[in-house]
Amino acid sequence: MATLPKQPITMPKAAKPVPAPNSDFYELAETLPAEELAVVKQVRTFLETKVAPIITKYWVEDEFPFEVLPEIKKLNIGGVAMKGYDCRGGSTLLFGLLAMEMARVDSSIATFYGVHNGLAMGSIYLGGSEEQKQKWLPPMARWEKIGCFGLTEPLVGSGASGGLTTTAKRDGDTWIINGQKKWIGNAPWCDISIIWARNLADNQVNGFIVENKNTPGFKVEKIQNKIALKVVQNGLITMENCRIPEENRLQADKSFRDTAAVLKMTRYMVGWEATGCAMGAYENALKYCQERLQFGKPIASFQLVQDLLAKMIANITASQCLVVRTAQLDAEGKMTDAHAALAKAFTTAKCRETVAWARELLGGNGIAADYKVARFFADAEALYSYEGTYQMQNLILGKAITGFSAFV
Ligand SMILES: Cc1cc2nc3c(=O)[nH]c(=O)nc-3n(C[C@H](O)[C@H](O)[C@H](O)COP(=O)(O)OP(=O)(O)OC[C@H]3O[C@@H](n4cnc5c(N)ncnc54)[C@H](O)[C@@H]3O)c2cc1C
């Protein structure tokens, strides 16, 4: 039987030097005005020099890197996309790109930023009275007071719109709040909690600004043993007869529709985070493939490996185009709940697919935290489920495109 001649082991011809991993393939960052692009670059430098070298250790140890907080404060990115009140301002696109840049290095840092800047500040920005905005937003924009957002409960997640069990009862000039909130990002150490509770008088959901440390009956336990977003500290909040002054009730919020307005804005921000998470996994995997030799060749030179890498950059590029367009719709005041839901569902699903391929490309090293990709792989799971699960987003979208509500 004829045998094939033995091939000498040769390095494949590669464009020399091999290109540095670049996950902004269609140069979307370039669509920002120069001044905003400079902010994105400044944040990228901060992340690559101050966060990337230390974050795996914190992730493994389930701890938040308080050592980088002073540096974050100096970046002047508190209150991005909000006007006035000492906020950074800027475009919705800038907000999104910053979230994406953060998640490209660590999704937990992006989540910390999103919870404070988006969910907590956004609740006051959209639902607060002028006085409340004047009082709370400037110190939050300067990171002197850091916030969280308490909606989910131990027994109520997807069904929060009609099912909150945390109650608020008016008593003179104060409200008495009782209940629990679960999974609340930043809660174990932050200063202010936006707590959503059912008003016993009219059964509608109201928002309250709670000062964690000065409120008797307010207790937070850190949630232990997470496998995703381990750097973000999540809390189980218990409120027993907490007295909150009427002046801390978000004055413009009348029902869950107002809560949903905050979630619409932050939900597509998770789309940016998911896109960034996929970018980080892809860039690390590509670099690994360029350096890792098997059969005497870099594994990046193998067709099946290139097929996965090509599908990863395609996922990322499609996600980037989607969130950029969503940000444009938001800026024009045209973004609907369904637009935000589609962006969140699609990007988180594609992120999950992309990080799994990245993990696969690292072989055994893909499950070791030291090689970074495992962190992106695990963190994608939380992005997929929080701020409304994949199924909830598709129900919102399904209602918009069919005209029938399938919510039970
Ligand atoms: C890391 C992390 C951080 C978080 N941070 C915060 C925070 O800061 N603040 C906050 O308020 N919450 C936070 N959450 C909570 C998060 O938003 C909820 O976990 C999420 O909304 C899902 O709720 P649940 O976990 O109770 O799941 P459930 O609602 O119990 O859902 C379980 C499963 O059932 C499915 N399901 C439920 N109802 C339906 C239906 N009608 N049709 C089809 N499928 C359905 C869901 O899609 C899901 O797959 C966080 C969660 C995590 C994991």
Q: Indicate if the pLDDT at residue 8 is higher than 60.
A: no
Average pLDDT over every residue of 8-33? 79
- The pLDDT tens digits for 351-368 are 999 999 999 999 999 999
Q: Give me the pLDDT at residue 253, please.
A: 94
Please report the atom of ligand 1 found closest to the CA of residue 392: 47
pLDDT on residue 1: 47
Question: What is the rounded distance in angstroms from the CA atom of residue 95 to the CA atom of residue 90?
Answer: 8
Regarding the beta carbon of 388 and ligand 1, being less than 6 Å apart is answered yes
Domain assignment present for residue 129? The answer is yes
Q: Which amino acid is at 61?
A: E
How close is the Cα of 35 to the center of ligand 1, in Å? 38
Q: What's the average model confidence in pLDDT over 210-231?
A: 97
In a domain, 331, yes or no: yes
Tell me which H or E stretch contains 206.
Answer: strand 205-211
Q: What is the pLDDT of residue 3?
A: 53
Cα–Cα dist 286/282, whole Å: 6
Q: How many domains does the chain have?
A: 3
Mutate to test the pocket of ligand 1, among 155, 181, 262, 389 (most ligand atoms within 8 A of CB): 389
Inter-residue contact 172 to 211 (CB < 8 Å)? no
Check residues 2 and 233 and name the one with the higher pLDDT.
233
Spacing, Cα 287 to ligand 1 middle (Å):
34
Shared-domain flag, residues 262 and 380:
yes
In sequence order, which residues have a C-beta less than 8 Å from that of residue 266 and are 6 or more positions away?
Answer: 114, 118, 119, 122, 387
Span 251-269, average pLDDT: 94
pLDDT tens, residue by residue, 275-284 = 999 999 999 9
Cα dist. 378→52, 230, 277, 344 in Å?
17, 9, 10, 18
Please state the length of the chain: 408
Q: For residues 368 and 4, which has the higher predicted lDDT (pLDDT)?
A: 368
- Tell me the CA–centroid distance for residue 157 and ligand 1, in Å: 5
Q: What is the mean pLDDT of residues 340-351?
A: 98
Q: Which residues contact 262 (CB under 8 A, 6 or more apart)?
A: 118, 119, 122, 123, 126, 127, 149
Judge if 205 and 289 occupy the same domain.
Answer: no
Please give the number of the atom of ligand 1 that sits closest to the Cα of 395: 42
Burial (CB < 10 A; 0-12, 13-18, 19+), residue 249, is: buried
The CA dihedral of 122, 128, 131, 134, to the nearest 10 degrees, is 0
pLDDT of residue 390: 97
Among candidate residues 230, 248, 266, the one where a domain is terminated: 248
Instruction: State the residue range of the domain holding 50.
Output: 28-141
Residue tagged 């850190």 (tokens): 222
Which of 117, 29, 38 shows the shortest CA–CA distance to 72? 117
Verify whether ligand 1 is closer than 6 Å to residue 161 (CB atom). Answer: no
- Residue pLDDT, tens place only, 56-105: 999 999 999 999 999 999 999 999 999 999 999 999 999 999 999 999 99
Is the pLDDT at 9 greater than 50? The verdict is no
Residues 173 and 276 in one domain: no
Query: Could you tell me the pTM of the whole model?
Result: 0.95
CA 335 to centroid of ligand 1, rounded, Å: 23
User: Is a pLDDT exceeding 70 seen at residue 13?
Assistant: no
- Which of 105, 122, 141 terminates a domain? The answer is 141
Question: Does 378 contact ligand 1 (Cβ within 6 A)?
Answer: no
Do 62 and 186 sit in the same domain of this protein? no
Nearest CA to ligand 1 atom 43: 391
For residue 16, what pLDDT band results from cuts at 50, 70 and 90? confident
Whether 265 and 303 share a structural domain: yes
Q: In this predicted structure, what is the pLDDT of residue 227?
A: 98
Higher-confidence residue: 10 or 21?
21
**Region 34-61: what's the mean pLDDT?**
97
Tell me how far apart the alpha carbons of residues 250 and 194 are, in angstroms, rounded to a whole number.
9
